[in-house]
A and B are shown apart, each in its own frame.
Chain A
Amino acid sequence: QQPVQSPQAVILREGEDAVINCSSSKALYSVHWYRQKHGEAPIFLMILLKGGEQKGHDKISASFNEKKQQSSLYLTASQLSYSGTYFCGTEAAGNQFYFGTGTSLTVIP
């Protein structure tokens, strides 16, 4: 039931853009995105609650295609502080909450 993320890892130079994809084999009620820095707890970035919904936070935004059971996270003009592992999370029936396989993002100067 775990969503699959791609790519598994990406290295960017400051100012470059990146897209992280999240796909589920099950119908999605919602998609969450979290970021985890090395040695720290994952922290919440954003939720997408409706099919087709797009949200943005600073230069990080996300879309949710309910029909395709997919979500994508867009990082624009990346900064060093964007480095970390990004996880998508999906909610299934019965309050179960599943996270994806993770994408390691490294931004270099």
Chain B
Amino acid sequence: DVKVTQSSRYLVKRTGEKVFLECVQDMDHENMFWYRQDPGLGLRLIYFSYDVKMKEKGDIPEGYSVSREKKERFSLILESASTNQTSMYLCASSLLDRESPFSGANVLTFGAGSRLTVL
């Protein structure tokens, strides 16, 4: 069974702390994504990566950075956590169809989410 695993389901951090959210997938997917989910705002794309060491900004990258040193792992980093970063964070992955990169046929598989509270 294919899986996207997020290392922590619940985290509580203090303002100013550095926070690492880890995501690992075992499907050999090229694409990996980080979203944050807030009530009424849906899923907003923070960063995504389509290859090792490659990263692209989504809609709300401010205050976040990412790291992809290995294909299976995509980390989200909050350099200095703030209370407005309290949220549910979802990681997802998908195949990259090089034959038809915009075919839209690449279904996203999500992790269970990491709920971060910043005090």
Question: A-side interface residues toward B, CB under 8 Å?
Answer: 1-2, 5, 8, 29-32, 34, 40-44, 47, 49, 87, 89, 91, 93-102
The prevalent SS among residues of B at the interface is loop
B39 CB to nearest A CB, Å: 9
Q: Are B111 and A41 in contact (CB under 8 A)?
A: yes
Q: Are B43 and A29 in contact (CB under 8 A)?
A: no
Q: Which residues of B contact A8 (CB under 8 A)?
A: 40
CA–CA, A102 and B56, complex, Å = 24
Q: Are B56 and A99 in contact (CB under 8 A)?
A: no
CA–CA, A75 and B33, complex, Å = 29
B116 CB to nearest A CB, Å: 15
Q: Are B59 and A98 in contact (CB under 8 A)?
A: yes
Interface residue tally on B, bucketed by range: 20 to 34
Can you name the residue of chain A whose Cβ is closest to the Cβ of B107?
A: A44
Q: Given contacts A44-B109, A47-B105, A98-B59, could you give 16 more A-B pairs where the C-beta distance is less than 8 Å?
A: A30-B102, A30-B104, A31-B104, A34-B108, A41-B112, A42-B90, A49-B105, A91-B104, A93-B102, A95-B48, A95-B101, A96-B58, A97-B45, A98-B45, A99-B43, A99-B45
B12 within 8 A of A: no
Q: Can you report 25 residue pairs joining A to B where beta carbons are below 8 Å apart?
A: A5-B42, A30-B104, A30-B105, A32-B107, A32-B108, A40-B112, A41-B4, A41-B110, A42-B108, A43-B110, A44-B107, A47-B105, A47-B107, A49-B105, A87-B42, A91-B106, A95-B50, A95-B56, A95-B96, A95-B101, A96-B48, A97-B48, A98-B58, A101-B41, A102-B42
